[in-house]
Amino acid sequence: MPGNTLFDRLVAASGAAWHAYTRHEFVRGLADGTLPAAAFRHYLIQDYLFLLHFSRAWGLAIYKSDTLAEMRRAQSLVAATLDTEIGLHVEYCRSWGIDITAMAQTPEALETVAYTRFVLDRGLAGDRLDLEVALAPCIVGYAEIAAERMADPATKLAGNPYRSWLDMYAGAEYQALAGEAKAALDEQFARRGGEGRFPLLAATFTAATRLEADFWQMGLDAAR
C-alpha cells in the first residue's frame, strides 16, 4: 500500500514508470558490478553537466519562494551544490580517469538536455512546488534506489567498483537530504496545493521519472 506523503502518492500515480527507473538495467549493473565501465564514465560526465543545471534550478527556487525559510533552504542547496557537491563529483570523476577539462568540453547529451530543461521549464511556468516535484525523481529517487539496492542480498559489495556510489546515496547524510525533500513537498502541497493540483503534479513527476530512466539508458547506449 502506498504511503500518505505526497511523494508516495506521486510514485503510486507514476505506475510502471517508477520501477522502470529505479530498477533499470543500469541500476542493476551498479548493484552487481557488471555495468560496463564505459557506461559509468559517460554517465559521470553527463551528471557533471546536469549538476550545473541543478544549481540553476535551486537558484530559480529562491526566486519562486514566498517565505524567508524557503529562500534560505534554496540558498543552502545552491551553496551545497556549487561549493561541495560539484567539487566532490569532480574528485570522484578523477578517480575514474576523467578530468574537469574533458567534462567541460563534452557536449550535453540529448537526454541531459531533455531532463534539465524540463525541470527548468516546469519551474519557470509553475511555482516552487512544480519545480520541486520535477526534481523529486532525482533527489529522492537516488536515495530510494541506493537504499533498495543495499538492502538486496543480490547486491555485490566486496570488489564492486560501484560500491562507493551506492554507499554515498545510501548513507545517512544523503538519506536525510532526501527526507527533507519529501517533507518539503508535503509542506508546500499543504500551502500551495489542494487536490485539484494533484493530476498535473503527477503528470510532471511521471514525465521526470521517464526522463531519469532515459538518463540511465543514455549511459548504457554509450557503451554499446
Do 161 and 37 form a contact (C-beta atoms < 8 A)? Answer: yes
**pTM for this structure?**
0.95
Closest Cα partner for 208 from 93, 50, 67, 34?
Answer: 50
Return the SS3 of 157: coil
Do 38 and 223 form a contact (C-beta atoms < 8 A)? Answer: yes
Residues 6+ apart with CB under 8 A from 54: 81, 116, 135, 138
Kindly compute the dihedral angle of the four CA atoms of residues 177, 124, 206, 35, in this order, to the nearest 10 degrees.
-60
CA separation for the pair 42, 137 (Å, rounded):
20
- Predicted confidence (pLDDT) at residue 1 exceeds the cutoff of 80: no
Do 122 and 133 form a contact (C-beta atoms < 8 A)? Answer: yes
% residues pLDDT > 90 (the chain): 96
Confidence bin at 143 (pLDDT 50/70/90): very high
Query: For residue range 197-206, what is the model confidence (pLDDT) as tens digits?
Result: 999 999 999 9
Residue 196: how many other CB atoms lie within 10 Å: 7
Confidence bin at 50 (pLDDT 50/70/90): very high
CA separation for the pair 2, 209 (Å, rounded):
17
Query: For residue range 119-137, what is the model confidence (pLDDT) as tens digits?
Result: 999 999 999 999 999 999 9
Confidence bin at 101 (pLDDT 50/70/90): very high
Query: For residue range 15-45, what is the model confidence (pLDDT) as tens digits?
Result: 999 999 999 999 999 999 999 999 999 999 9
Confidence bin at 2 (pLDDT 50/70/90): low
Mean pLDDT, residues 177-183 taken together: 95
CATH of 6-222, one of 1.20.910.10, 3.50.50.60, 3.40.50.1860, 3.30.43.10: 1.20.910.10
Residue 37 confidence (pLDDT) = 97
Query: For residue range 67-86, what is the model confidence (pLDDT) as tens digits?
Result: 999 999 999 999 999 999 99
Confidence bin at 3 (pLDDT 50/70/90): confident
